[in-house]
Structures are given as C-alpha cells and as structure tokens.
Amino acid sequence: MSHPSIVDGWFREINDKSFPGQAFSLRVDKLLYQFKSEFQDILVFHNDVYGNVLVLDGIIQCTEKDEFAYQEMITHIPLYLHSNPKKVLVIGGGDGGVIREVLKHDCVESVTLVEIDETVIQLSKKYLPNMSCGFTNEKLTIKLVDGFQFLKDLRNQDKFDVIITDSSDPEGPAEAFFQRQYFQLLKNALSNDNGIIISQTSENIWLNVNYLQRLTETAREVFTNVKYCSTMVPSYTSGQLGLLVCTMNDQIDLTEPTRFPTTSEQSELRYYNKDIHSASFVLPKWVENDLN
C-alpha cells in the first residue's frame, strides 16, 4: 500500500487553503488502511508515539494519544452548560469519540448520530476501539445521511437540547456546515431557547483569525449569545483547535458551567473540568478585539 501524502515514511499534512505556508508531519510506522469512499479520501496509519491516526482528505481527524482533549471539550462544554440535557444530536463524529463522551452523562436519555460516511464508523470500530466503544449503547440511534439534509427534514417533534457539530474541515462534504443557513437549521432543531449548539471551527486564532471573525459574525446573525473557545490538540496543525458555542438564551454565561460533573463523571474525564471550561474562553487582547 502507498498514499500520496506519505513520502519517505512520513505522513505530511499540507493544505495551502487552510494552513498556508506550513505543514505537519508524523512518521508512519505502519500503514493500516487506505480507501477513497464515495465522499472522501480515508487513510489510517500507526505512529509509535500517537498510536493509530485517522486522516480524511489529507487532514488528521484524530489520534489515539490526544483525541480526548478535543472530544471532551466539544462535548462537555455544551452539556454542562445545559441544565438538563436529555436529547443530544451529533452531526459528524463517525469515529465515535463524541458519542463516548455524551454517554458519560446519566441525564442524557437519547443520542442521535448523523454520519454521511459509514466507512468511517466501521474503521473506527476496527482501528479506534477506545473511541468507538459507545456504538453498542442502547441510547444511540445512527442515521447514515447528510447532516444538512437531516436538519432540513427534521419534524417539529424531533427537537434536541444540545447539538454538536463534529464535522471535518470546510471543504468537500462538510462545507455546508459553516454557512448561515446551517446555523439557522441548528436553531430550528433546538427544543427551546435554552438549547446549546457547538461546532468545531476548523481554524484557530493563529491560522486564520479573519475567517473566525466572519464565522462568528455569521453565527451572530442567527444566535443572540455566541462565544469562541479553544482546546489544545498537539496533532492538529499549530496545536490548537477552535470551538464556537451558541444559544438563544442571553442569560446563560457560556464561560461558566451551569452544572458540574458528579464524582463518578469527573473520574471518567481526563481533560475537562470547570476551570478548563472557563479558561478555554479567555482570548488574547488582539483576538478579543477582532471577535467580540
């Protein structure tokens, strides 16, 4: 097996559109899988430091070593902001990491995963077992459809307390997840004004703050309460990944959890706590001026 992104035994993540002028590399100690599905190019390889690595369209999606930093933050920030989340929708996230984290909340009664590419789910079950462990949970329903179309077809009775968009970067099938219409569909899919949505922003402050400014402004055209935060993920280009949190409830301070992890819940967490929650919203002065 071979792959164009692997040169001299090293995987190279090069994307001049999203990450101009720089690249990220990991040594490929073993090439496990490569395939071009109907929707995207898929690569899985093993690195002795980061473990198994999932790559979609040339961009690292997760590694076994550091995935929890992203999965916990994109999941627990919105879930601990909601006073009583019972129904949760996850769009994307076929690797199962977000599902695993959502199911740590005893108050959650049902989780719906909307994933366009079933291949990602099957590969995660085989190569990322610690992330895909929630796929057999009876609370989970999987919909193998486009997330944008799923929201357009949603019936009034099928609304959610928390919606997590765990999409890939805004190119190819995920491009629609970064437009105004998508935010409007997310708003319509919330059960009430207390609902919380969170989306990965692809970019962070060091890569393209102008893009983040436009994305934040787009979200504020739909939601009245919008905040940007971030988490540290070493295998992501520049080591930082941004998240956008939105709600229609102006009384919710997005920088402070509404609920706190129980003792049993906290014992299962490796990254998230209430202090990390608040600190993730702290921005350098120049970014604060641009975004807020």
Q: Are 201 and 207 contacting, i.e. CB atoms less than 8 angstroms apart?
A: no
Answer whether 95's CB lies under 8 Å from 120's CB. yes
Alpha carbons 202 and 204: distance in angstroms, whole number: 7
Compute the distance between CA of residue 82 and CA of residue 69 in angstroms, rounded to an integer: 20
Question: Of 57, 66, 166, 169, which residue is the catalytic one?
Answer: 166
Known catalytic membership, residue 117: no
Which token pair is 84?
Answer: 């009583």
Nearest-angstrom CA–CA distance, 273 and 232: 14
Angstrom distance (rounded) from CA 166 to CA 115: 10
Can you tell me the distance from the alpha carbon of 228 to that of 181, in angstroms, rounded to the nearest whole number? 19
Ramachandran sector of residue 207 (left: φ over 0; alpha: ψ -120 to 50; beta: rest): alpha
Which residue reads 């164009």 in tokens? 4
Host H or E run for residue 164: strand 162-166
Strand stretches in 17-128, DSSP E? 23-27, 30-36, 41-47, 51-56, 59-63, 87-92, 110-114
User: Do residues 250 and 225 lie in contact, with contact meaning Cβ atoms separated by under 8 Å?
Assistant: yes
Q: State the catalytic residues.
A: 166
